[in-house]
Amino acid sequence: MEGNREHKNSMFATLFSDPEKLYKLYNAIADTDYGAETPIEINTLADIFTGGKKNDVSFTIDGRFVVLIEHQSTPCTNIPLRVLLYIARVYERITNYRAAYRDMLLKIPTPEFLVLYNGTKTFPPEKTFRLSDAFIASDESVEKFGSLELTVRMVNINPDGNKELLEKSETLNHYSAFVDRIRLNQKNGMELLDAIREAIKWGIENGILSEFLEQHRSEVENMLMTEFNIDIAKEVWQEEAFAEGHAEGRAEGHAEGHAEGRAEERRTFISVLRTQGMSDEDIAKATGYTIDEIQRF
């Protein structure tokens, strides 16, 4: 399974694409003890979480399909929905869809969704996000007819956010300290590029990801300039919001549908929300569409 080469890796994805580091990181988070005797296969798809930067490392291990995401901005309450779209694409690629129509039960890897939160907003050591929190229907309807659930475990990896976890993975601990050093440099008045370069120098001198930073110095500079640049982050957010609300749709692979079909789906969705008694203003807050877009639907 190949990732989209047009998407740039984040430093996180590059660092933890090393199987040895990934074993230790997963063991720390999942409280397991896997090693080289248990095959691990990294099979990251094109990223759908940040639009233009691949900050996830998805892999299979011992019958599990693990989606590991680094998240630097404000915790995203819509992450279960975005993960649902991701895992659907994964299963589509790794299974023979014809087998799904046979009588014999089709076995699929057990999914696990982990988000490592590295943002600046106050956040607990750990929190679970549920897809069902976004459902319109009442709990009574869900229990009567059955439903879909997906949970995402979000773990705080800031230096003071989850010390017990960081102590279990040296690489994660060093990564957290390195990112914190950049932010400290910025608080002290350094321009972003200078803050990154000083942190790289500091890391090499103090044994903090030193080997990785020495080998990937210029690449790390470029990746982190993208990750920390607020203007670029805003552009990505606006691009995602526009793509979700615009009738052109988003082309993926051989295209996910024509614009007219996407527009009809949005009209139906808006209609359903209105039948639930939601005003256009409430719909705008819940979906990210503008009032003008909703009224056109």
pTM of the model: 0.72
Instruction: Please tell me whether residues 62 and 146 are part of one structural domain.
Output: yes
Nearest residue to 67 (alpha-carbon basis) of 185, 182, 152: 152
* Residue 249 resides in a domain: no
Instruction: Please tell me whether residues 91 and 225 are part of one structural domain.
Output: yes
Give the pLDDT confidence of 204-228 residue by residue, as tens digits: 999 999 999 999 999 999 888 877 7
Question: Can you give the pLDDT at residue 66?
Answer: 92
Instruction: Please tell me whether residues 84 and 147 are part of one structural domain.
Output: yes
Q: Which domain holds residue 289?
A: 259-296
* Residue 240 resides in a domain: no
Q: Is the dihedral of CA 129, 132, 138, 144 positive or negative?
A: negative
Question: Can you give the pLDDT at residue 6?
Answer: 41
Question: Can you give the pLDDT at residue 138?
Answer: 63
How far apart CA 187 and CA 195 sit, in angstroms, is 9
Instruction: Please tell me whether residues 145 and 209 are part of one structural domain.
Output: yes
Instruction: Please tell me whether residues 200 and 56 are part of one structural domain.
Output: yes
Q: Using CB atoms within 10 A of its CB, is residue 25 exposed (0-12), middle (13-18) or buried (19+)?
A: buried
Question: Can you give the pLDDT at residue 7?
Answer: 43
Two tokens at 211?
Answer: 């080997």
Question: Can you give the pLDDT at residue 251?
Answer: 47
Question: Can you give the pLDDT at residue 29?
Answer: 93
Nearest residue to 250 (alpha-carbon basis) of 261, 259, 238: 259
Domain count, the chain: 2
How far apart CA 61 and CA 73 sit, in angstroms, is 28
How far apart CA 111 and CA 53 sit, in angstroms, is 22
Which residues in the chain land under pLDDT 50? 1-7, 47-48, 50-52, 231-235, 237, 247-258
Instruction: Please tell me whether residues 216 and 290 are part of one structural domain.
Output: no
Question: Can you give the pLDDT at residue 89?
Answer: 81
Question: Can you give the pLDDT at residue 290?
Answer: 80
Q: Could you write out the DSSP letters of every residue in the chain? A: -PPPTTSEEPHHHHHTTSHHHHHHHHHHHHT----TTS-EEE-PPPP-SSSSEE-EEEEEETTEEEEEEEE-SS--TTHHHHHHHHHHHHHHHHS-GGGGGSSS----PEEEEEEEE--SS---SEEEEEGGGG--S-HHHHHHH-----EEEEEE-STTT-HHHHTT-HHHHHHHHHHHHHHHHHHTT--HHHHHHHHHHHHHHTTSSHHHHHHSHHHHHHHHHHHH-HHHHHHHHHHHHHHHHSTT----TT-S--HHHHHHHHHHHHHHHHHTT--HHHHHHHH---HHHHHH-
What does the buried/exposed string (b/e) look like for 80-113 if buried means 16 or more CB atoms within 10 Å of the residue's CB?
Answer: bbebbebbebbbeeeeeeeeeeeeeeeeebebbb
Instruction: Please tell me whether residues 58 and 108 are part of one structural domain.
Output: yes
* Residue 239 resides in a domain: no
Instruction: Please tell me whether residues 89 and 165 are part of one structural domain.
Output: yes
Instruction: Please tell me whether residues 179 and 98 are part of one structural domain.
Output: yes
**112 φ, ψ to 5°?**
-135, 130
